[in-house]
Structure 1
Amino acid sequence: MGVKGLQLFTDSCCPAACVTVCLREMARQHVTQHQRGCASTANATSPTLVVDGMACLRPWYSCKDWVCGGQWREYMDVLKGWVEAFTSAGIRLVFFFDGVVEEQKRQVWVKRRRRVNGEISKMFRHIKAYGKQPGRELFCLPSGLATFTCFALRALGQEVFCSVREADYEIASYARQHGSMGILGQDSDFIIYDSAPYLSVAKLRMDSLTTVMYDRHRLCQAIGLTVTQLPLLACLLGNDVVSEEKMQRIRNNAMATYRTNNPTTHASAPQGQKVLAVSHLVSSLWGREEQETELIPQSLDLSAPHRELLKRGVCSYLLPGHKAFPQGDISAQSFAFEKHVSPEILKACREKHVATEGFMVYSVVCQGVIECSNTLEDEENAELLPQALVYKPCRQRIYGLLLLHGHDGSSVDLPAIREWFVYPGNPLKEPDMVHPVQISLPYDQPSLDLLWFGIGPKVSTLRVMSFLSIFDCQEFSDLYGDIEDSLLAALCLVTYIILQVHTLSQEDVDAYLSQAVCLRLKSPDELQQIKLPVLSSRAVQLGSLYVRGLSNLLGGNCASGCPLPNAALMPWHSFDGRLFHSKYLLAHSGTEKTVLLDSDSSCLSLFLRLKEKLTETCRKRGRVLQSRPCAPEQGHRITPGPRHREKHAGGNENLREKRETTGGHGGGWRERGEASGDPSEYDSRERLWQRGGHFNAQSHSYPYSHDGGPQNTSRPQIQSRGRSYYRGRIRPTSRWSQPPAPRT
């Protein structure tokens, strides 16, 4: 959300409202104040900071590489250190994350998604031109970061909530109701809410735990308003409920009046003039005391639709406990598909959603709408399908598992999910209407109540088979309990991707599987030491495709009754962007499997076993993998460094030897953002690339289990009972509209 221009005005024109505070001292003062009103110190309220998790994602993700799909182990360490800094200061943290996009703010969401798409396009052009990551001006968060951060914080023992309405509202409500010491975020709406003090995460210094507090009372003194008048000011300035354009006439009139009465004040600060002009207008609207109870004064000249819009905007700031708080019980709302599921399922969906333990189920069952934000996808690459289309068939099966149990199979009254997914070619003018598809099992589809609440070995078998059926991997049931959960999840995901994306090659599979196998033995420090001589835009998209797939695994796992622990589906157990990128470059350069698996015999053995299983499953479905090495983009060159060229100017064999002994990085590589004009020179570089190289293959054992303990390998005995296969239909909306080639 956010009020147009208010943060800038407060920072630049109202320094008295910007107070530097020490959070440790605030916590001590909070405890002291509450101890005075308690019978004993045991009843004192703990100093609690309510954290806007979405606002913290950019400061949290400080890892060097962000385009490769995420450095998840390193990110976990960052979160752990961040939490420990507050815990050591005696501050309790409560995190909130956005759980829904309210329909009244859909167009704002769409506008932001389109803007980010433009930035992603520039990012891919940079990578293809220079072979390296762009600067922070084009920074994009790794795909799925918000989703997986919720699970990461819960794994660190933190209290985390996912909102069922506007997250800012729930944050302000929680802080007000629980007497929290402050709200840590970066949204000027927190100035408007009459709640706990608003503390800036952008100005937070972790070494000293100091930041800037925006004092709403001092702001009101500076602009001549009361705290209760701030919501109307926010709506007239423009926010996500009341667009800036809708109130343009009101602001223009206010500005004209203000400049007439104050010809010299803030002459050089237009933004300051606008905020002060609207503040003076708001202050003048209530002429009599009895009118103070009105949300929108009658003296404000508005059309009926604009008055209703303004009233809705003002109400969005009123928290429980306010005199004018709009009455209504959100728990009594109607649900989109309540006639398709039991009341127990509806309740469980909401509880799972709020506790961040579920993914997708609340949005589908209770709201009938689901959205997915931007993914790092190259709109100029026609070879790779967008992730939204790749995972559409498995989403349809998830919807079917949630909504079609007991359905007679007729198209009458068949539910449809509204999907707002961002992908190249989708203008986002309206949602895609996606119908559920029943999973294919050799017996009737089990009821959702049985999968979620049933007990016993037969139910455990149903859960596993339902989960595997969603991803067309029923043959993997014999691996359940025989290999680590995270590896089983990775194998399912890679197999599903191969079945859906017919342009993926043997080399791509080798990169996916080798990094999943090798990651288990690598420490965060080792992962950070990996050097990449060049970036491939194709590998960037494949990395994001994998991480988005983990989100779909989460949705399928939750819908199936959680046959796998959610911890096994976290990216820090099966994916590291930098490691994947290095394996991709190695695989596509023709590196031997022994080197690809870090010269570790146990890793090589496991890799070969997984690949054999994958290849066999794909072959049964008519999908035969081909070898198609991909050279780096032609827009840049990879050449040896000056000293290397002098010593080995005679041939390419010595260059390969140099790469293998130095790990393929450091001073021996140089990247240039210029294309060669000589085709034979490029052909020579391409042949050299395909002959192989070696990146830092040394590693040592580093046990890293899901939650610091051994995994549970006690599983029910399950037999594979056939397979399903689904030929999805893609709505013709773009150049991606052609269906995949039929399986033969």
Structure 2
Amino acid sequence: MSSGNAIITNLFSFPDPFRELSRSSVMGVRGLQGFVVSTCPHVCTVVSFKELAEHHRNKHPGSTPTIVVDAMCCLRYWYTPESWICGGQWREYFSALRDFVKTFTAVGIKLVFFFDGMVEQEKRDEWVKRRLKNNREISRIFHYIKSHREQPGRNMFFIPSGLAIFTRFALKTLGQETLCSLQEADYEVASYGLRNNCLGILGEDTDYLIYDTCPYFSIGDLCLESLSTVMLCREKLCESLAISLADLPLLACLLGNDIIPEGMFESFRYKCLSSYTSLKENFDKKGNIILAVADHIAKVLHLHQGEKKLEEMLPLGPNKALFYKGVASYLLPGQKSPWFFQKPKGLITLHKQVVSMSSDPEPKQGVPMCADPEPKQGVPMCADPEPKQGVPMCVDPEPKQGVPMCADPEPKQGVPMCVDPEPKQGVPICIDPESRQGVPIYAYTVVKQKLPLGADPEFKLEAPMCTDPAIKQDRMHMEPEVKQVTMVSDPEILKVARAHHVQAESYLVYNIMSSGEIECSNTLEDALDQALPSQAFVYRPVRQRVYALLLGDGRDGASPCPTVKEWFVYSGNPLRHPDLVRPLQMNIPGGTPNLKSLWLTQEPGVQGRRLDALLGCFDLSSSREELQAVEDPFKALCCLLIYLFVQVDTLCLEDLHAFIAQALCLQGKSTVQLVDLQLDYIDPRAVQLGSLLVRGLTTLVLVNSACGFPWRTSDFMPWNVFDGKLFHQKYLQAEKGHSVEALVEQNRSRLTKFHALKSVVCKACVKESRRIVSRQHRALPAARQVGEAGIRLPQDELWVQPSRPRTALEGPGSRK
């Protein structure tokens, strides 16, 4: 789209403090966003979506103007509630999302939302770097709360836990097309926008300036009232830098992005800077570096283009494979790069890595972990071409607790590899492709159950298994492809799980079944509060039972015990490698049901079996009848509260009162009343409790989808059962000794329901030998030996110990 067609005016800056915040969190190419805004302002032009849509309709009659939205970039923009510290103002947030959608719909613009479905291995280091940075920010937040007893300013804003997950379901409830990516979302967003001739991409990621796709619009500069924002024009950027569109991927990788570490070409950039003759005194250092690198591409690399290989002109060294991978990652289906020789089909070798040049990004389904001892066409199952000799692989199929599963003399590895003992031509068959993490995945070859097509009755799953037809096309001629090694070999199972994943119907299920690797970002947790364990530990036994349901637990003797990589953020975890966690046997009357019966069968009684599986994941089968008697939407909340209070010793009667009272009072409050609610002060423990409950709700999403949707998803959406500020108010009142009548605001009907719900939770806890007492009438438990996760664990708890010291959170405050 040319600027002349785009209803352009001079660049201006919206007086929104969020804009500066959004700039600081921009993803993509290092320094490019700041460079464009400060040095090349003509690249940014203000556009009106109303007029763009009208122009699109005139040019393409019968076509609906569509904007593809990178939802992960928009979360901060969408979260407009003033309060964010208490666990989330979900009713307010839902209302803001509804207004956002209505504004675009009113002018005839269709929105398609994409969410990240997984973290690609090439970007894991960057993911870790950001999580560790967030940890430091969270520490400052809690320090501020303790010092000032109030919420920090917007400059310290941290999005509530679970915001991305629940935003998916909120948008689906609002009738929006919502998709979850099968790889890094920015590629799928750019590909969708190009293929569907979209009006543009709405997001905040400078990678969209690099992709050769439809126009890129800034969410940070969006003025919803006027439906105007800033368009960043890649053509004008190229004019400013005297390079072509085809050079942008090369420039991005030389500057550093989410794949290429910033330090990889640091010396090269300074060499370019030292020889650059047009330094601008009024430009900052990063701006001059970008100009210098672009000048080197235009005047030096172009001079020898076609005569010399790129690796002969650049100091790629041992990083050649990663560099080419980075450049290729920007090439959309049908696009090529002039910067390296490409073979449409066949093989190329990059730094001893033999990779297939077939560009189909679809993971090949049904490939067992170690099924083929002689991989076809020289395509390895992993990226490490030189396995260490003399290291036993998968020595003990049933390793003892706490004992490393591999006799690697380096204790940091401590985990088994699964490879052909006689690898052909030095190529291992089955090792985790992310070899730099040093933790190979434990092989799991076959699960004989079939996963039926279960569906949440709240959402209709009418879309095809793959909603993106271009995924089946060649992604790019240069795209290196390695056959995917999956945890489950049944293609029907993976196909159905994949469909739910793409349609944003489930959470983590496909990741577990396809790659055996999941992650969870930061949570507002106080690293200095040893009384409350991290949510990563609290809900780990639930996840382990889900692993048993989806993968099996290896106790049938027919297959080894699977292991799932967990990248969960908690205090003391340096994230140098994942925690390797094995399934935990489920205690369900009649035994663990197979996935076919849970997801596909519609015979009488199957809904009861689904509920049995769900309660089995929380180890609450004994409370089935009591929970069944609870009315919606409190059934799921009671299940979660029972689990929490059984797991964590330091939760007391006042905490239970606050959780129940806020859920009951929420039903009778309008959004305006919640907005106007004022708190006397902010309590750091209440902040952490709010986040703990919300993470429990996300865990319910995982369990419910894995078990075939026995409960309606709406019953545990936070806007129906939880409000952070309201919970905080009830917590403070309970701590001050307010009566139950005061907590439920003197409402007789709520009082009756309060006692009923409290009775269900307390009776279920008594069955588990857990008596909930008032904080005023109890002594904190003495230090005692607890499970490695710092919480109540069954005797047969199994998980692979990470190579790290015991953390402060793995101490008092939880049940053995």
TM-score bucket (shorter structure): 0.7 to 0.9
Match of 1:280 in 2: 295
Decide which structure has greater helix share. Answer: 1
Q: Cα distance, 1:167 vs. partner? A: 0.8
Distance 1:736 1:727, change over 3 A: farther
SS at match of 2:101: helix
AA in 2 matched with 1:311: Y
Give a deviation string over 1:668-722, Cα, whole Å, max 9, x none: xxxxxxxxxxxxxxxxxxxxxxxxxxxxxxxxxxxxxxxxxxxxxxxxxxxxxxx
AA in 2 matched with 1:553: L
Q: 1:395 aligns with which of 532, 536, 543?
A: 543
AA in 2 matched with 1:319: L
Query: Mean Cα displacement is larger for which, 468-477 or 589-598?
Result: 468-477
Q: 1:461 aligns with which of 608, 613, 624?
A: 608
Match of 1:370 in 2: 518
Match of 1:683 in 2: none
Kept after mapping to 1: 8 A contact 2:627/2:760: no
Match of 2:193 in 1: 175
1:569-648 matches, within 5 Å, as 569-629=716-776
Distance 2:314 2:301 in 1: 13
Match of 1:9 in 2: 35
1:681-700 matches, within 5 Å, as none
SS at match of 1:485: coil
SS at match of 2:113: strand
Kept after mapping to 2: 8 A contact 1:184/1:198: yes
Distance 1:741 1:73 in 2: 32
Distance 2:210 2:283 in 1: 26
SS at match of 1:137: helix
Query: Mean Cα displacement is larger for which, 146-155 or 358-367?
Result: 358-367
Q: 1:229 aligns with which of 238, 247, 257?
A: 247
Match of 1:313 in 2: 326
Kept after mapping to 2: 8 A contact 1:588/1:630: no
Distance 1:33 1:741 in 2: 64
Match of 1:531 in 2: 678
Q: 2:219 aligns with which of 201, 204, 214?
A: 201
SS at match of 1:339: coil
Distance 1:63 1:418 in 2: 35
Match of 2:306 in 1: 291
Q: 1:157 aligns with which of 159, 165, 175?
A: 175
In the alignment, is residue 184 of structure 1 matched against residue 187 of structure 2?
Answer: no
Q: 1:269 aligns with which of 280, 284, 290?
A: 284
Kept after mapping to 2: 8 A contact 1:267/1:273: no
Query: Mean Cα displacement is larger for which, 122-131 or 541-550?
Result: 122-131
In the alignment, is residue 472 of structure 1 matched against residue 625 of structure 2?
Answer: no
Match of 1:138 in 2: 156
In the alignment, is residue 333 of structure 1 matched against residue 399 of structure 2?
Answer: no
Q: 2:630 aligns with which of 469, 473, 483?
A: 483
Distance 2:508 2:284 in 1: 46
Kept after mapping to 2: 8 A contact 1:172/1:196: yes
SS at match of 2:362: helix
Kept after mapping to 1: 8 A contact 2:697/2:717: yes
Any stretches of 5+ residues in structure 1 without a counterpart?
A: 36-43, 632-723
Distance 2:445 2:796 in 1: 29
Match of 2:378 in 1: none
1:509-524 matches, within 5 Å, as 509-524=656-671
SS at match of 2:528: coil
What TM-score results when the alignment is normalised by the length of structure 1? Answer: 0.82
1:729-744 matches, within 5 Å, as 731=801, 733-738=806-811
Give a deviation string over 1:631-657, Cα, whole Å, max 9, x none: 9xxxxxxxxxxxxxxxxxxxxxxxxxx
Q: Cα distance, 1:410 vs. partner? A: 4.6
Distance 1:440 1:221 in 2: 65
Match of 2:584 in 1: 437
Q: Cα distance, 1:288 vs. partner? A: 6.5
Distance 1:733 1:285 in 2: 53
Distance 1:630 1:210, change over 3 A: farther
Query: Mean Cα displacement is larger for which, 176-185 or 593-602?
Result: 593-602
Q: Cα distance, 1:395 vs. partner? A: 0.8
Q: Cα distance, 1:629 vs. partner? A: 4.7
Kept after mapping to 2: 8 A contact 1:426/1:733: no
Q: Cα distance, 1:586 vs. partner? A: 1.2
Query: Mean Cα displacement is larger for which, 600-609 or 385-394?
Result: 600-609
Kept after mapping to 2: 8 A contact 1:176/1:196: yes
Q: Cα distance, 1:306 vs. partner? A: 2.4
Q: Cα distance, 1:299 vs. partner? A: 4.5
Q: Cα distance, 1:180 vs. partner? A: 0.3
Kept after mapping to 2: 8 A contact 1:350/1:362: yes
Distance 1:487 1:287, change over 3 A: closer
Distance 1:539 1:741 in 2: 17
Q: Cα distance, 1:487 vs. partner? A: 0.3
Distance 1:359 1:604 in 2: 35
In the alignment, is residue 451 of structure 1 matched against residue 598 of structure 2?
Answer: yes
SS at match of 2:67: strand
Distance 1:276 1:346 in 2: 47
Moved over 6 A (4+): 724-727
SS at match of 1:233: helix
In the alignment, is residue 104 of structure 1 matched against residue 135 of structure 2?
Answer: no
| Alignment length (residue pairs) | 637
SS at match of 1:69: coil
Kept after mapping to 2: 8 A contact 1:346/1:365: yes
AA in 1 matched with 2:297: V
Distance 1:327 1:76 in 2: 43
1:385-424 matches, within 5 Å, as 385-404=533-552, 407-410=554-557, 413-424=560-571
SS at match of 2:60: helix
Q: Cα distance, 1:130 vs. partner? A: 1.4
SS at match of 1:330: coil
Kept after mapping to 2: 8 A contact 1:285/1:297: no
Distance 1:281 1:339 in 2: 53
Kept after mapping to 2: 8 A contact 1:98/1:166: yes
Distance 1:497 1:287 in 2: 62
Kept after mapping to 2: 8 A contact 1:467/1:557: yes
Q: Cα distance, 1:563 vs. partner? A: 0.2
Kept after mapping to 2: 8 A contact 1:485/1:564: no
Match of 1:50 in 2: 68
Give a deviation string over 1:156-180, Cα, whole Å, max 9, x none: 0001111111111110000011110
Distance 2:500 2:695 in 1: 20
Kept after mapping to 1: 8 A contact 2:67/2:112: yes
AA in 2 matched with 1:276: L
Give a deviation string over 1:109-166, Cα, whole Å, max 9, x none: 1111111111111111111111110111211000000000000001000011111111
Kept after mapping to 2: 8 A contact 1:393/1:726: no
Match of 1:656 in 2: none
What is the root-mean-square deviation in Å for CA atoms of aligned residues? 2.2
Kept after mapping to 2: 8 A contact 1:507/1:629: no
What TM-score results when the alignment is normalised by the length of structure 2? Answer: 0.75
Match of 1:721 in 2: none
Match of 2:137 in 1: 119
Question: Which structure has the larger Rg?
Answer: 1
AA in 2 matched with 1:106: R
Q: Cα distance, 1:728 vs. partner? A: 4.5
Q: Cα distance, 1:409 vs. partner? A: 4.1
Distance 1:594 1:726, change over 3 A: farther
Distance 1:232 1:266, change over 3 A: farther
